[in-house]
C-alpha cells in the first residue's frame, strides 16, 4: 500500500484563498488561510469595515429525532431552545432537528458523547457529521448587516436577528443556514451551506461587499479578534 | 463644435447667485448636446444647463415629432427625454451633468431642429387615436414592412445591444415606518414617528430633502413663510435623529401586499418590508390644454421656480402667467422679484376671487392683469413667441371676439394640482373627487397607511406639518411605538380652496395635447369615446393615455375631466384608472439586479481546470465534459483504467427501522431482502408510473442505507422523499442529504483493482469484494465508502470520501494509476461507455411519458410486490402492452452517427413518411468502431432483434437495425472479473 502523503483536508474555498494570496497553516488536519495581507490590516478591516473568513473547518453536526432535545439536554448543560434559538453553538432548526457548531476537531468528541447518550436513551435519534459537506463563511464587521441585506431578504437588525440565532433562508439564490455569532460588540454572521456552492457564495459576497471595502481575513486575524 | 467664446455666451440665462441654489459656480464643466459643446456647473442637470444656454427644444414627440421643451422640470413628463451615451430615455431635467457627457436628442431624423419625421403631422387626420389597431392590417404579408416603418417612426431612444452589462444590485430593507416623500410633510412625519423610537426610512426622489420648500419663495407675506424659515431646522432635526435613515434620489416604485415596497436609486433596487407607510408624495402640477400647449416655452409654474431657485436659470425674459388660483400669483411675484418682465397675468377668475397677497404689489408695479381671461393659443413655431388670450363671458365661455395676442417667450401655467397618491391606491386606498379643489383625494386607506401633505390635498405648509406629525405618530403607534393620536384620520381635512375652475381644456382648432407621452390630443379622446371607449379604463387602454413614461402624472386628471365632460358624467362617476407599479420609469437592469447564477463545483474543480478540462453545465454543476479526446478517454477505461469525478451524484442517507418499507414503496423492485454490505439498482416512478430517477442504494448497517441518485435529480429526489416522509411515510426514518459531504470518483477499467490495491489494506479480491457490494476502507489514509458498481461496463469502484479529503484521494488515485497510464475521463467518455452497455440515462433516454416497462427495464419492476409508487399504472401498462419500446440500434452504415432527437419514420401507402419513433442517444463507439444508439420504436419493430428501420436525417434517410441487449460485454463478465 502506498500512502506516502499525509491526508490533508482542504476547504471548498481553498482555491479562492490561493488566488487572493493567502498563506496557509494546518490546523486539526485542515489547511486554512492564516493571513492574506497583514494581521494588522485584517484586524482593522474587521473592526472598521467588513471582512470574510473561511471557517469551513469548524465542526458541524446534525441531530435529528423527536427526542433529540432530550438527548442534548442529557449530554450538555442546556435549557430548552425555541426554533431558531441557539446556545453555545447548538441551534434548533426544527422541532426535531438541531445543528451543532464546534471548534475544528471537537466534533469528534461531541459526536461520541451524543452517540453514547442516544444509545443509552434508546431513542431514535440520528447524529450526522456534515463538516465536510458544508462551507462556512464568516462575515465580520460593522457593515455585515448591510452586506447581507444585499444578498438575503432576512431582517438582520439585532432586534429581529439577535446574537446566537440561526435561520435558514435563501441567500444569493442558494439555501443557507445563517447564524448570528457576534464577536463581542462586532457584528458577525456565519453563512453555512453546501460546500459545492461555497466558492459561488464567497465570490458573490466579495463582489457585493466591494462598496464596503470588504477583504478576506485569515485565522490569525480571527484569533486576534478573540475567536477560538 | 462651438468655440470657447460660443460656449461662454451660453451662460446668458443665468441669474445672479442666490441662497439655496444647488450649483457650484466656481467650477465649469463641459458636455455636448447633439455634438455642440455647452458648459455647466457641478449640480446642474442636463436640462438646466441647456436652458441656461438658451436651448429650448430638447426632444421630439413620440408620434408627430413635434418639438418639445421643458415642461415639469421634475422628472414627471416625457418632454426632456434624451439619449446619453448608450442609455436611452434619460430625463434631462433630473440627470446631473458630468464632464464630457455626450447627450443626444432621440427619435429624430435627421436632426432635432430639422426633423423630417415631423411631416407626419400633415397626415395626422389619417392617424387618429387607435389607428394602429385598424390600419396596416391588410394585406397581411406587408405587415413586416409596416412594422419596420412604424418602429423607425415612433419609439423612444435606441438600445445598443452591444452595450456591456451594467452593474446593478439590490438590497433588502426592513423597518417600522416608511415615509415616502421628503417634503415638509414627509420630514415632519418622519421626525414624529422616529421620536417614539420607531425605525424610519425616509425616501425622497430628489437629490435633497425639502420638497417644494427648496424652490418656493420665503417671502414674509407668503403662506409658506413659517415653513420656509423652518426648513433648515427640520433638516437639522433629521440629521440629529438616529432612528431616521434618509434615501435621496430614490423613487418608490410600488406598493405590494403586506407593505412590501419597491424603490430604486440609480442602479440599486430596494425591496422594503415595513409595518406602516406614510405617503407624503406631494402633487404633480396639472398642465392646461389649449392650442399648441406643447410648444417649447410653455412651462408649469413649479418648473420655472425649480429652474430659478435651484439652478439660477431663467427660462425666459418675457413671461405670461396663466392661472386660476393663488399659485400663479406666487410665481409671478417670484419672477418679478428677480427682475423678470412679467408681461401679463391671465387669471380666469373675477378680481374679487383673487386673494393673493401679491396682488397689490404686482398691480402697483404695473404688471398687466387680465381677470376673467384665459389663454387660447401659444404662438410660435419651434418655440413660444406670444400668447393669444380671450375674455370669458358670464357663463365661463370664451368670447373669441375679445381675443388678443401678447408678446412673450415664456408661458407659465399654474392651474392646479394632481395629488400623487398612486401608492395609497395601490395599497387599497379609496378616493373621492372634491369639487371645490378640482382634485381627487384619498378618503380612506387601509390600516397602517397614511396620506399627508399635498398628496392629501393639504397645501398650507403649516397644516402639512401638523397633519404629518399626527400621521407620523399614528404610523409609529400602529407598529407599537407610542400612543395613537385619535384626533386625525388619514388627513387633517385642511383643504383650503386652491382652484376655482374645472377648466382643463380651452376650445381650439389646433393640436391640444392631453398626453405628452403618446401624443394624444383632446380630439383623440373625444374620438375614442365616440367609438365606444367611454369608460376611463377602456379609454386608457385604447388611447394609451397614461401608459407612457409619465404614467399619468401629467395627463390622468385632465383625461378624467375630458371623459366626464364627453359622457356628461361627474368626475366622481367617471372614476380613476387603476394605479399600478412602477410609478416612475425604471430600467430592466435595476429590476434584474445583480447577476446571481449559482454554480456548483466539486472539490476537484481547480484540478480539472489545471488539466485542460472542457467544462460543461449539468444542472447547476460544472463538470468536465472531456480533457481533450473523449474517445481516447473511453478507450483508456476499456483497455487500462480511468478516473471520473462523479461527486455531483446525489447521496442520501436514510436511517431508522422504517427505511426498508420506504424503499419498497419508492422503488419498483424488491428491497426488504437486501442484506448489509450489498448494493442494488433501483428505479423510482411517480403515480403515473413515469420514471423519475434511478440509482443504487447500499445497505450500510442495520439501520443505515446510502442511496445515490442522478446528479441533476439529487435535489428533486431529496425534496420528493421529504414530502413522502412528512406525508405519513416518515415513521422511524431520518433522511439526510450527504451529496456534498462525500465526494465520489469512479475508478474504472481492468486495472482498477490493481490501482486501488496500492492505496488500501482492504482485500479487494473478487471473492472478498464482489460486484454490487459496499465496503468501508481506508484509501490513501482516508476512510471511504467503496461501491463496486459499473455504469461503464468495466470492473470499477466508486470511491466515496469526505469532501475535505477529495483532492488528496483523487491525486493519490491518479498517482497510483500512473504506471498503468491512468487517464481522467469526463462526462462524454462516460456517455460513450454507458451507451456501449445500453445503460439508459433518465431524462435523456426517458421523458415525462416514459415508464420502466417500456424503457427496457421490466427486470427492475416487481409487479407482484404489495405496493409501490406507480404500481397501478404499471399494472395497466403491463396488461395492455407498451405502445413504444426503448431499444438499442446499430447503423447499417457504421460511420453514420444520427443526431439525438432525430425522427424514425415509416413509409405509408401514399408515400408520405410517418413518424414512428425517435433517437434518444447516439455515439460512435470507439470500442466497436461503429455508430450505436438508443431509440424509441413501436413494439412490433422493437421486439425483433435485427429489424430494420429508417431514420430521417438532414436531407436523406438512413437505415438502422434493432439491437437487443448490451453492445459490449452483453453477459457482464467484465463487471464481475
pLDDT tens track for B302-345:
999 999 999 999 999 999 999 998 899 999 999 999 889 999 99
pLDDT of residue B223: 46
Residue in chain B nearest A14 by alpha carbon:
B603
Residue range(s) defining the domain that contains residue A117? 59-131
Nearest to B349 by CA among B503, B468, B234: B503
Q: Give the whole-angstrom CA distance, residue B555 versus residue B504.
A: 10
What are the residue ranges spanned by the domains of chain B?
A: 4-139+149-153, 169-284+418-479, 287-412, 513-578, 628-657+696-835, 880-969
Q: Give the whole-angstrom CA distance, residue B663 versus residue B654.
A: 10
Within a domain: residue A2?
no
Can you point out the beta strands (E) in A39-102? 51-54, 59-64, 86-87, 90-94, 97-102
Cβ of A173 and B598 within 8 Å? Answer: yes
Cβ of B596 and A154 within 8 Å? Answer: no
Is residue B836 very low, low, confident or very high in pLDDT (cuts 50, 70, 90)?
very high
pLDDT of residue B153: 76
What would the mean pLDDT of B78-95 be, rounded to a whole number? 95
- Interface with A, mutate which of B169, B646, B657, B734 (most A CBs under 10 A): B734
Tens-digit pLDDT profile for residues A191-213: 999 999 999 999 999 999 999 99
Q: Which helix (H) or strand (E) holds B800?
A: strand B796-802
**Measured between CA atoms, how close is A1 to chain B, in angstroms?**
4
Cβ of B806 and A10 within 8 Å? Answer: yes
pLDDT of residue B221: 38
Asked if A61 and A32 touch (Cβ cutoff 8 Å), the reply is: no
What would the mean pLDDT of A55-65 be, rounded to a whole number? 97
The answer, yes or no, to whether residue B6 has pLDDT greater than 50, is no
Q: How many CB atoms lie within 10 A of CB B20?
A: 15
pLDDT of residue B131: 82
What would the mean pLDDT of B490-514 be, rounded to a whole number? 67
Cβ of B740 and A134 within 8 Å? Answer: yes
What would the mean pLDDT of B805-833 be, rounded to a whole number? 98
What would the mean pLDDT of A130-158 be, rounded to a whole number? 97
Is residue B220 very low, low, confident or very high in pLDDT (cuts 50, 70, 90)?
very low
The least confident of A127-141, B156-170, B620-634, B856-870 is: B156-170
Tens-digit pLDDT profile for residues B705-741: 999 999 999 999 999 999 999 999 999 999 999 999 9
What would the mean pLDDT of B767-790 be, rounded to a whole number? 97
Shared domain for A14 and A70, answered yes or no, is: no
Nearest to B866 by CA among B659, B672, B698, B683: B672
Percent of chain B with pLDDT over 90: 83
Within a domain: residue A3?
no
Cβ of B601 and A7 within 8 Å? Answer: no
Shared domain for A65 and A124, answered yes or no, is: yes
The answer, yes or no, to whether residue B216 has pLDDT greater than 90, is no
Is residue B487 very low, low, confident or very high in pLDDT (cuts 50, 70, 90)?
low
Residues 6+ apart with CB under 8 A from B231: B184, B210, B213, B214
Chain B neighbors of A129, CB-CB under 8 A: 741
Is residue B1 very low, low, confident or very high in pLDDT (cuts 50, 70, 90)?
very low
Shared domain for A117 and A174, answered yes or no, is: no
Q: Assign residue B887 a region: left if phi > 0, alpha if psi is -120 to 50, beta otherwise?
A: beta
- The CATH number of the domain where A106 resides is what? 3.30.70.1400
- The CATH number of the domain where A33 resides is what? 3.30.1360.120
Cβ of B603 and A157 within 8 Å? Answer: no
Cβ of A10 and B804 within 8 Å? Answer: yes
Shared domain for A42 and A150, answered yes or no, is: yes
**CATH homologous superfamily for the domain B169-284+418-479:** FAD/NAD(P)-binding domain (3.50.50.60)
Is residue B509 very low, low, confident or very high in pLDDT (cuts 50, 70, 90)?
confident
pLDDT of residue B14: 93
Chain A neighbors of B736, CB-CB under 8 A: 62, 64, 126, 128, 130
B161 burial level (CB within 10 Å; 0-12, 13-18, 19+) = exposed
Q: How many CB atoms lie within 10 A of CB B614?
A: 14
The answer, yes or no, to whether residue B95 has pLDDT greater than 90, is yes
CATH class of B4-139+149-153: alpha beta
Shared domain for A210 and A137, answered yes or no, is: yes
Cβ of A7 and B740 within 8 Å? Answer: no
The answer, yes or no, to whether residue B401 has pLDDT greater than 60, is yes
pLDDT of residue A77: 84
Shared domain for A215 and A162, answered yes or no, is: yes
Residue in chain B nearest A172 by alpha carbon:
B596
**Between B621, B760, B804, which is nearest A132 by CB?**
B804
- Interface with A, mutate which of B740, B777, B815 (most A CBs under 10 A): B740
Cβ of B738 and A15 within 8 Å? Answer: no
pLDDT, chain B, mean: 92
Is residue B32 very low, low, confident or very high in pLDDT (cuts 50, 70, 90)?
very high
B32 burial level (CB within 10 Å; 0-12, 13-18, 19+) = middle
B300 burial level (CB within 10 Å; 0-12, 13-18, 19+) = buried
Chain A neighbors of B172, CB-CB under 8 A: 149-150, 152-155
Cβ of B656 and A3 within 8 Å? Answer: no
Asked if B721 and B735 touch (Cβ cutoff 8 Å), the reply is: yes
Pick the residue with more confidence: B955 or B952? B952
Within a domain: residue A4?
no
DSSP state for residue B313 in the 8-state scheme: B
pLDDT of residue A37: 98
What CATH fold (topology level) applies to the domain B880-969? Elongation Factor Tu (Ef-tu); domain 3 (2.40.30)
pLDDT of residue B497: 55
The answer, yes or no, to whether residue B347 has pLDDT greater than 60, is yes
- CATH code of B513-578, in short, is 1.10.10
Q: How many CB atoms lie within 10 A of CB B935?
A: 28
Q: Which helix (H) or strand (E) holds B19?
A: none
Nearest to B872 by CA among B855, B856, B851: B851
Tell the residue number behind the cell numbers 435529480, with chain if given.
B713
Q: Give the whole-angstrom CA distance, residue B881 versus residue B227.
A: 86
Q: Give the whole-angstrom CA distance, residue B973 versus residue B696.
A: 20
pLDDT of residue B500: 52
Angle at CA B9, nearest 5°, toward B333 and B84? 90
> Is B169-284+418-479's fold the same as B287-412's?
yes
**Between B169, B606, B620, which is nearest A15 by CB?**
B606
The least confident of A201-210, B124-133, B619-628 is: B124-133
Size of interface A-B (CB pairs under 8 A): 139
Within a domain: residue A25?
yes
- Pick among 1.10.486.10, 3.20.20.100, 3.40.50.300, 3.30.1360.120: CATH of B628-657+696-835: 3.30.1360.120
Nearest to B712 by CA among B791, B633, B616: B616
Among the candidates A131, A152, A186, a domain finishes at: A131
Q: What is the dihedral of CA B185, B191, B196, B197, to 10 degrees?
A: 130
Instruction: Locate B874 and state its grid cell.
Output: 404499471
Is the domain defined by B287-412 classed in CATH 3.40.190.290? no
**Between A64, A132, A157, which is nearest B802 by CB?**
A132
Residue in chain B nearest A174 by alpha carbon:
B598
Residue in chain B nearest A18 by alpha carbon:
B606
Nearest to B181 by CA among B232, B251, B253: B251
Q: Give the whole-angstrom CA distance, residue B639 versus residue B926.
A: 12
Shared domain for A24 and A78, answered yes or no, is: no
Asked if B542 and B214 touch (Cβ cutoff 8 Å), the reply is: no
The answer, yes or no, to whether residue B225 has pLDDT greater than 50, is no
**Between A3, A130, A146, which is nearest B741 by CB?**
A130
Residue in chain A nearest B621 by alpha carbon:
A196
Shared domain for A23 and A86, answered yes or no, is: no
Nearest to A176 by CA among A149, A197, A204: A197
The answer, yes or no, to whether residue B501 has pLDDT greater than 90, is no
pLDDT of residue A126: 95
Chain A neighbors of B806, CB-CB under 8 A: 10
Percent of chain B with pLDDT over 70: 95
pLDDT of residue B7: 37
- Supply the pTM of this predicted model: 0.90
pLDDT of residue B228: 44
Is residue B161 very low, low, confident or very high in pLDDT (cuts 50, 70, 90)?
confident
Q: Give the whole-angstrom CA distance, residue B325 versus residue B345.
A: 11
Shared domain for A154 and A205, answered yes or no, is: yes
The answer, yes or no, to whether residue B961 has pLDDT greater than 70, is yes
Tens-digit pLDDT profile for residues B657-704: 999 999 999 999 999 999 999 999 999 999 999 999 999 999 999 999
Chain B neighbors of A146, CB-CB under 8 A: 171
Cβ of A157 and B199 within 8 Å? Answer: yes
Shared domain for A51 and A152, answered yes or no, is: yes
Amino acid at each position: 500500500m502506498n500512502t506516502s502523503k499525509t491526508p490533508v483536508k482542504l476547504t471548498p474555498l481553498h482555491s479562492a484563498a490561493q488566488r487572493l494570496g493567502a498563506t496557509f497553516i494546518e490546523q486539526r488536519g485542515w489547511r486554512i488561510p492564516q493571513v492574506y495581507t497583514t494581521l494588522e490590516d485584517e484586524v482593522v478591516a474587521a473592526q472598521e469595515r467588513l471582512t470574510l473568513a473561511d471557517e469551513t473547518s469548524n465542526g458541524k453536526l446534525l441531530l435529528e429525532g423527536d427526542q433529540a432535545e432530550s438527548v442534548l439536554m442529557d449530554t450538555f448543560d442546556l435549557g430548552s431552545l425555541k426554533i431558531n434559538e441557539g446556545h453555545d453553538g447548538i441551534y434548533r432548526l426544527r422541532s426535531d432537528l438541531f445543528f451543532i457548531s464546534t471548534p475544528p476537531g471537537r466534533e469528534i468528541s461531541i459526536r461520541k458523547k451524543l452517540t453514547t447518550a442516544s444509545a443509552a436513551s434508546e431513542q431514535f435519534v440520528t447524529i450526522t457529521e456534515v463538516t465536510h459537506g458544508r462551507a462556512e463563511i464568516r462575515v465580520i464587521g460593522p457593515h455585515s448587516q448591510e452586506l447581507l441585506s444585499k444578498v438575503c431578504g432576512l431582517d438582520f437588525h439585532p432586534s429581529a436577528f439577535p446574537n446566537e440565532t440561526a435561520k435558514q433562508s435563501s441567500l444569493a439564490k442558494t439555501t443557507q443556514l445563517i447564524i448570528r455569532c457576534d464577536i463581542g460588540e462586532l457584528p458577525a454572521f456565519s453563512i453555512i451551506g453546501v460546500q459545492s456552492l461555497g466558492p459561488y457564495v464567497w465570490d458573490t459576497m466579495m463582489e457585493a461587499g466591494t462598496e464596503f471595502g470588504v477583504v478576506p481575513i485569515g485565522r490569525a486575524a480571527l484569533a486576534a479578534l478573540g475567536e477560538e | 463644435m462651438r468655440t470657447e467664446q460660443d460656449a461662454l455666451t451660453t451662460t446668458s440665462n443665468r441669474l445672479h447667485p442666490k441662497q439655496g441654489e444647488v450649483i457650484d459656480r466656481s467650477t465649469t464643466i463641459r458636455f455636448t448636446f447633439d455634438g455642440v459643446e455647452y458648459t455647466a456647473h457641478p449640480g446642474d442637470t442636463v436640462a438646466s444647463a441647456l436652458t441656461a444656454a438658451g436651448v429650448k427644444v430638447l426632444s421630439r414627440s413620440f408620434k408627430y415629432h413635434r418639438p418639445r421643451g421643458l415642461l415639469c422640470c421634475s422628472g414627471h413628463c416625457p418632454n426632456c427625454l434624451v439619449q446619453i451615451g448608450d442609455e436611452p430615455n434619460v430625463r434631462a431635467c433630473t440627470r446631473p451633468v458630468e464632464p464630457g457627457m455626450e447627450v443626444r436628442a432621440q427619435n429624430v431624423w435627421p436632426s432635432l431642429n430639422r426633423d423630417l419625421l415631423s411631416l407626419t403631422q400633415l397626415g395626422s387626420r389619417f392617424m387618429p387615436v387607435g389607428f394602429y389597431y385598424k390600419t396596416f392590417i391588410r394585406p397581411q404579408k406587408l405587415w413586416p414592412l409596416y412594422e419596420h416603418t412604424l418602429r423607425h417612426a415612433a419609439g423612444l431612444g435606441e438600445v445598443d445591444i452591444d452595450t456591456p452589462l451594467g452593474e446593478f444590485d439590490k438590497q433588502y430593507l426592513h423597518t417600522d415606518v416608511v415615509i415616502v416623500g421628503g417634503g415638509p410633510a414627509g420630514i415632519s412625519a418622519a421626525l414624529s414617528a422616529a421620536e417614539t423610537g420607531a425605525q424610519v426610512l425616509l425616501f425622497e426622489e430628489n437629490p435633497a430633502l425639502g420638497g417644494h420648500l427648496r424652490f418656493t419663495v420665503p417671502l414674509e407675506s407668503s403662506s409658506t413663510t413659517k415653513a420656509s424659515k423652518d426648513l433648515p431646522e427640520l433638516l437639522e432635526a433629521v440629521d440629529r435623529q438616529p432612528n431616521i435613515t434618509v434615501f435621496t434620489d430614490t423613487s418608490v416604485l410600488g406598493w405590494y401586499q403586506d407593505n412590501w415596497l419597491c424603490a430604486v436609486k440609480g442602479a440599486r433596487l430596494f425591496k422594503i418590508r415595513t409595518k406602516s407607510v406614510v405617503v407624503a408624495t406631494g402633487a404633480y402640477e396639472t398642465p392646461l390644454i389649449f392650442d399648441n400647449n406643447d410648444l417649447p416655452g410653455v412651462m408649469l409654474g413649479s418648473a420655472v421656480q425649480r429652474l430659478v431657485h435651484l439652478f439660477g436659470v431663467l427660462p425666459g425674459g418675457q413671461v405670461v402667467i396663466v392661472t386660476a388660483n393663488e399659485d400663479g400669483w406666487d410665481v409671478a411675484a417670484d419672477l418679478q422679484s428677480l427682475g423678470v418682465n412679467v408681461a401679463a397675468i391671465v387669471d380666469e377668475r373675477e378680481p374679487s376671487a383673487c386673494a393673493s397677497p401679491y396682488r397689490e404689489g404686482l398691480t402697483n408695479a404695473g404688471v398687466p392683469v387680465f381677470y376673467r381671461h384665459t389663454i387660447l393659443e401659444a404662438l410660435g413655431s419651434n418655440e413660444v413667441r406670444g400668447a393669444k388670450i380671450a375674455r370669458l363671458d358670464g357663463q365661463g365661455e370664451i368670447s373669441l371676439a375679445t381675443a388678443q395676442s401678447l408678446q412673450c417667450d415664456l408661458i407659465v401655467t399654474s392651474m392646479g394640482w394632481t395629488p400623487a397618491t398612486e401608492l395609497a391606491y395601490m395599497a387599497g386606498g379609496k378616493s373621492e373627487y372634491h369639487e371645490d379643489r378640482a382634485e381627487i383625494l384619498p378618503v380612506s386607506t387601509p390600516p397602517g397607511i397614511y396620506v399627508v401633505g399635498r398628496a392629501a390635498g393639504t397645501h398650507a405648509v403649516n397644516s402639512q406639518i401638523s397633519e404629518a406629525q399626527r400621521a407620523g405618530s399614528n404610523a409609529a403607534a400602529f407598529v407599537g411605538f407610542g400612543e395613537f393620536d385619535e384626533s386625525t384620520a388619514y388627513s387633517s381635512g385642511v383643504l383650503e380652496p386652491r382652484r376655482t375652475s374645472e377648466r382643463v381644456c380651452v376650445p381650439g382648432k389646433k393640436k391640444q395635447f392631453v398626453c405628452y407621452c403618446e401624443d394624444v390630443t383632446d380630439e383623440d379622446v373625444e374620438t375614442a369615446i365616440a367609438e365606444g371607449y367611454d369608460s376611463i379604463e377602456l379609454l386608457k387602454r385604447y388611447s394609451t393615455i397614461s401608459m407612457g413614461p409619465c404614467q399619468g402624472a401629467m395627463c390622468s386628471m385632465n383625461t378624467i375631466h375630458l371623459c366626464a365632460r364627453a359622457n356628461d358624467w361627474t368626475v366622481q362617476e367617471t372614476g380613476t384608472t387603476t394605479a399600478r407599479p412602477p410609478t416612475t420609469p425604471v430600467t430592466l437592469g435595476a429590476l434584474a439586479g445583480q447577476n446571481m447564477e449559482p454554480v456548483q463545483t466539486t472539490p476537484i474543480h481547480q484540478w480539472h481546470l489545471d488539466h485542460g478540462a472542457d467544462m460543461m453545465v449539468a444542472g447547476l454543476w460544472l463538470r468536465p465534459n472531456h480533457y481533450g479526446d473523449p474517445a481516447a478517454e473511453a478507450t483508456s477505461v476499456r483497455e487500462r483504467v480511468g478516473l471520473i469525478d462523479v461527486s455531483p451524484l446525489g447521496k442520501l442517507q436514510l436511517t431508522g427501522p422504517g427505511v426498508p418499507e420506504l424503499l419498497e414503496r419508492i422503488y419498483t423492485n424488491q428491497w426488504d431482502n437486501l442484506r448489509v454490505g450489498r448494493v442494488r439498482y433501483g428505479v423510482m416512478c411517480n403515480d403515473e408510473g413515469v420514471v423519475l430517477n434511478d440509482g443504487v442504494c447500499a445497505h450500510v448497517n442495520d439501520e443505515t442505507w446510502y442511496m445515490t441518485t442522478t446528479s441533476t435529480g439529487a435535489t428533486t429526489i431529496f425534496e420528493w422523499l421529504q414530502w413522502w416522509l412528512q406525508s405519513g411515510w416518515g415513521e422511524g426514518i431520518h433522511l439526510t442529504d450527504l451529496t456534498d459531504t462525500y465526494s465520489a470518483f469512479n475508478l474504472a477499467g481492468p486495472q482498477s483493482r490493481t490501482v486501488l490495491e496500492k492505496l488500501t489494506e482492504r482485500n479487494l479480491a473478487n471473492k472478498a469484494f464482489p460486484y454490487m457490494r459496499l465496503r468501508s476502507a481506508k484509501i490513501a489514509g482516508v476512510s471511504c465508502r467503496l461501491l463496486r458498481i459499473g455504469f461503464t461496463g468495466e470492473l470499477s469502484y466508486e470511491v466515496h470520501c469526505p469532501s475535505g479529503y477529495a483532492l488528496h484521494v483523487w491525486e493519490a488515485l491518479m498517482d497510483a494509476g500512473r504506471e498503468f497510464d491512468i487517464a481522467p475521463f469526463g462526462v462524454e467518455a462516460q456517455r460513450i461507455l454507458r451507451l456501449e452497455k445500453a445503460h439508459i440515462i433518465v431524462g435523456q433516454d426517458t421523458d415525462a411519458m416514459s415508464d420502466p416497462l417500456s424503457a427496457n427495464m421490466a427486470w427492475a419492476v416487481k409487479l407482484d410486490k404489495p405496493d409501490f409508487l406507480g404500481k397501478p399504472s404499471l399494472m395497466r401498462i403491463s396488461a395492455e402492452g407498451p405502445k413504444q419500446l426503448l431499444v438499442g440500434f446499430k447503423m447499417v452504415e457504421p460511420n453514420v452517427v444520427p443526431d439525438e432527437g432525430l425522427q424514425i419514420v415509416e413509409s405509408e401507402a401514399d408515400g408520405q413518411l410517418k413518424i414512428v419513433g425517435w433517437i434518444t442517444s447516439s455515439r460512435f463507439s470507439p470500442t466497436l468502431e461503429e455508430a450505436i444508439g438508443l431509440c424509441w420504436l413501436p413494439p412490433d419493430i422493437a421486439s425483433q432483434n435485427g429489424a430494420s428501420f429508417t431514420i430521417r436525417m438532414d436531407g436523406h434517410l438512413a437505415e438502422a437495425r434493432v439491437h437487443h441487449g448490451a453492445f459490449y460485454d452483453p453477459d457482464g463478465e467484465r463487471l464481475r472479473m
